[in-house]
Amino acid sequence: MPATPQSDTQRKHRLTKLGFHFLFVGAFAMFGGAYRTSNLLLILAGLIFGALVMQWRWSRKSAECVGIRRRFPREAFAGQPFRVRYRFTNVSRLIAIWTLRVEDEIKSLSGNAKSVAISGVGRLNPEQTLISYCDCLFTKRGRYRFGPIALMTTFPFSLFSSRQYSEATAELHVFPSLLTLRRRW
**pLDDT in 10s for each residue of the chain, 185 residues:** 445 455 567 888 899 999 999 999 999 999 999 898 888 999 999 999 999 999 999 988 888 899 999 999 999 999 999 999 999 999 999 989 999 999 999 999 987 889 999 999 999 999 999 999 999 999 999 999 998 999 999 888 889 999 999 888 999 999 998 888 788 87
Its pTM surpasses 0.75: yes
Identify whether 68 is part of a domain.
yes
Per-residue pLDDT, 7: 53
Domain membership of residue 28 (yes or no) is: yes
Q: How many angstroms separate the first and last alpha carbons of the chain?
A: 49
CATH number at residue 134: 2.60.40.10
Distance CA 105, CA 52 (A): 31
155 within domain boundaries: yes
Q: 82 lies in which domain range?
A: 9-178
Report yes or no on 168 lying in a domain. yes
Position 135 in a domain: yes
10 CB neighbour count, 10 Å cutoff: 11
Number of structural domains the chain divides into: 1
Q: Would you say residue 145 lies in a domain?
A: yes
Rounded to whole angstroms, what are the CA distances from 19 to 23, 74, 148, 156, 169?
A: 6, 43, 27, 12, 32
Nearest-10 Cα torsion for 34, 39, 43, 49: 0
Tell me, yes or no, whether 169 lies in a domain.
yes
Task: Please report whether residue 73 resides in a domain.
Answer: yes
